[in-house]
Amino acid sequence: MIFLVGFILLSIGSALSQITVSVSPTASHPIPTTLWGQMYEVNAGDGGLYAELLQNRAFQQVAAGTSAALKAWYSVNSALLTVVNETEPVSSALPNALKVTVASDATGPVGFGNTGYFGMKFTAGNTYNASFYYRFPENPDFIGELNASLQTSAGNVLASTSVLVAGNQTSWKQVFVSLTPDITPDATDNVFVVTTDGAAASGLTINFAMFSLFPPTFKNRQNGMRIDIAEVSTLQAMKPSFFRFPGGNNLVCRGQNTASRWVWNTTLGHLVDRPGRSGDWGYINTDGLGLLEYLLWCEDLEMEPIMAVWAGYGLGGQSIAEDDLEPYIQSAIDQALFIYIAAARRAELGHPEPFKLTYVEIGNEVRPSLRIGRYGYRWNLYVTALQVEFPNLHFIATTFPFNPILDPTPTEYDVHVYQSSTWMSENSFYYDGFQRNGTKYFEGEYATTKNDQGVFPSTTRSTFQYSTVEAATADAVFMTGFERNADIVFAASYAPLLQVNASFFRTILHPNLVVFDAGAVYPSVSYYVQQLFGFYRGDEYIPSTLPARNGTVFWSVVRKTSVINRNDNATDVTFQLPFNVSNTATVTVLTGAKTSANTPSNPDLVLPQTSSIFTGSTFDYSAPPFSVNVLVLNID
């Protein structure tokens, strides 16, 4: 069955004269299947989408001997803890280990705990897989137990298990245990603890490396994603069609040296073989969520990867000279080869089949305000070399179109915009004036971030912490422009996608689409706009009376072949349809007070509500102030 979808939006709650929307009998252009997707940013993985519960699990990228190296770890019963540069590291990628010394007069359980990123949620009946490596560097005459447990912050043991260890274990040995709590504590300030009997182990030194603690994951993938962030009610429910990764700011090392860039092949394989890196937003990335995990995530959500490659420049102004780019270009070629050609390496990692790859983005967000060297020669050298190897790939330029002029002429541009609600609603027609000459556009990052006339980059001070109804309706106005121009706009993703609700992570940009903490996720009002557009995505765009460019009511009409429910409501906008429709239709309305936001303390303040309306070839609909309305009409 064919149905029609109209988006109507009142961005200002003022009184309106009657608006008449006449709908064309024929579609003007198909809507690309890639239109609505997701953009991964650097604050989304560790402690977020990536389900690992322990923070600083492998002492990656920390300076041995410092107290900072012990971040998230604490001593239990006076054990002496130090992070050391191991003489026999567990792997070449992980030089550091946790050295634990038990005092000579110790009694009772002695050891250490980890507090997680911002707490840990434990649920009765779930199995938590824990693992770690240990060794006794001094070969003591000892046989005893290591006890691994999940505990509340007050020390109530929720689950525990013990393993027998012998002091002659002088080389690294990995231990796997599973822990299943039988109660769910109310709080999330829980901990993971490892102890040994102090009296038996008095005076001993034990070294530990590469810990891990995983809850059940999305689709039960090992090393996988956090279910409540990934699942039906959040990211999956957006029905995203693409995933842009590995994150804008993972592609522009912030004032750091080139060595700290994201390097695809150091994010593969066993976790002990991943060195991690000092991230661009001021915290350490484990790289546990690496290239393969991104690709599997794409498969799990049926998203197409839009993969970016590092193009030799950083936000701090660092830039690789033209003559020195060759090895980095080779690395980009190898990255693409890995994804769909180098079967042997993929097979080794459990995925012999090639992954889908159509789009490769060269770098990230080249803005004139940033002194990041010349993009022109990078674009030329990267694209020329990649095209030889991969004639079917599309390469996306990240400069503002069309400055500077690039050679070869880009067929795709990634355009970013973080703007005020006024700017967004005035720019619904942004793409209408663009030439139709074969160049396509990817709105790879956009968000309404403030209600005044701000210009990006804006200070975060004046931007919304959580998107409001005003901001979300402005996003929707801008998005109707993508549908109308979907003949040249092939993809769009709100950014950033995820933000932890804790002071742990420095929040560089906000609002974010989904906020989360250790225990829950809080989809923003803007999230529901994305979900509505994603869920009701059309196959074809149907022209209709154009909204006023600086008006307050906007709409977009699309059609697709599918079956869905129906519904009804009343006036202000009169639709004139060139087809007969069934006499009831479904309307889903997202509305609220202009300043309302979904926050951790009031997460469900603004939710889409669905009801029925009576319809016909001509019908009236009254859209509430500040609302996004999806009308679903079945064509007879």
Ligand X SMILES: *[C@@H]1O[C@H](CO)[C@@H](O)[C@H](O)[C@H]1NC(C)=O
Among residues 161 and 188, whose Cβ is nearest to ligand X?
A: 161
The DSSP bridge partners found for residue 417 are: 446
Residue 265 interacts with ligand X (CB under 6 A)? yes
Q: Which two tokens stand for residue 79?
A: 């054990």
Residue 43 interacts with ligand X (CB under 6 A)? no
Q: What Rg, from alpha-carbon coordinates, does the chain have? A: 27
CA 102 from centroid of its chain's CA atoms = 42
What are φ and ψ of residue 498, in 5° steps? -135, 145
Beta carbon of residue 155, minimum distance to ligand X (angstroms, whole number): 8
Task: Indicate the helix (H) or strand (E) that contains 397.
Answer: strand 394-397
Task: Indicate the helix (H) or strand (E) that contains 179.
Answer: strand 173-179
Residues 86-105, interacting with ligand X (CB under 6 A) = 87, 95
Residue pair 481/417 in contact (Cβ under 8 Å)? The answer is no
**Distance (Å, whole) CA 143 – CA 243:** 50
Beta carbon of residue 591, minimum distance to ligand X (angstroms, whole number): 10
Residue 635 interacts with ligand X (CB under 6 A)? no
Count of positions (residues) in the chain: 636
* Selected binder of ligand X within 14, 220, 369, 459 (CB under 6 A): 220
Beta carbon of residue 363, minimum distance to ligand X (angstroms, whole number): 17
Among residues 36 and 213, whose Cβ is nearest to ligand X?
A: 213
Beta carbon of residue 501, minimum distance to ligand X (angstroms, whole number): 4
Beta carbon of residue 409, minimum distance to ligand X (angstroms, whole number): 5
Strand positions, DSSP E, 235-355: 242-245, 277-278, 284-285, 304-309
* Selected binder of ligand X within 66, 67, 85, 565 (CB under 6 A): 85
Q: Which two tokens stand for residue 428?
A: 């619904």
Residues 549-608, interacting with ligand X (CB under 6 A) = 550, 569-570, 578-580, 600-601
Q: Which two tokens stand for residue 358?
A: 């159509």
Residue 109 interacts with ligand X (CB under 6 A)? yes
* Selected binder of ligand X within 217, 467, 556, 588 (CB under 6 A): 217
Tell me which stretch binds ligand X (CB under 6 A): 1-9, 302-310, 329-337, 534-542. 329-337
**Distance (Å, whole) CA 588 – CA 365:** 35
Residue 435 interacts with ligand X (CB under 6 A)? yes
Q: Which two tokens stand for residue 353?
A: 């089949």
Among residues 36 and 382, whose Cβ is nearest to ligand X?
A: 382
Kindly state the DSSP code that residue 101 receives in the 8-state scheme. Answer: E
x/- track of binding to ligand X for residues 133-152 (CB under 6 A)? ----------x---x-x---
- 249: helix, strand or coil: helix
**Distance (Å, whole) CA 584 – CA 508:** 46
Residues 352-411, interacting with ligand X (CB under 6 A) = 402, 409
Residues 165-194, interacting with ligand X (CB under 6 A) = 166, 168
* Selected binder of ligand X within 123, 162, 170, 202 (CB under 6 A): 162
Residue 468 interacts with ligand X (CB under 6 A)? no
The 3-class SS string of 435-454 reads: CCCCCEEEEEEEEEEECCCC
* Selected binder of ligand X within 14, 104, 392, 437 (CB under 6 A): 437
Residue 129 interacts with ligand X (CB under 6 A)? yes
Neighbour-count burial of 125, counting CB atoms closer than 10 A to its CB (0-12 exposed, 13-18 middle, 19+ buried): exposed
Place of tokens 């403030």: 450
Among residues 265 and 384, whose Cβ is nearest to ligand X?
A: 265
Place of tokens 């039960």: 220
Among residues 320 and 537, whose Cβ is nearest to ligand X?
A: 320
Residues contributing to the site for ligand X (CB under 6 A): 85, 87, 95, 109, 129, 143, 147, 149, 157, 160-162, 166, 168, 195, 214, 216-217, 220, 222, 224, 265-266, 330-331, 334, 402, 409, 435, 437-439, 501, 548, 550, 569-570, 578-580, 600-601, 611, 622
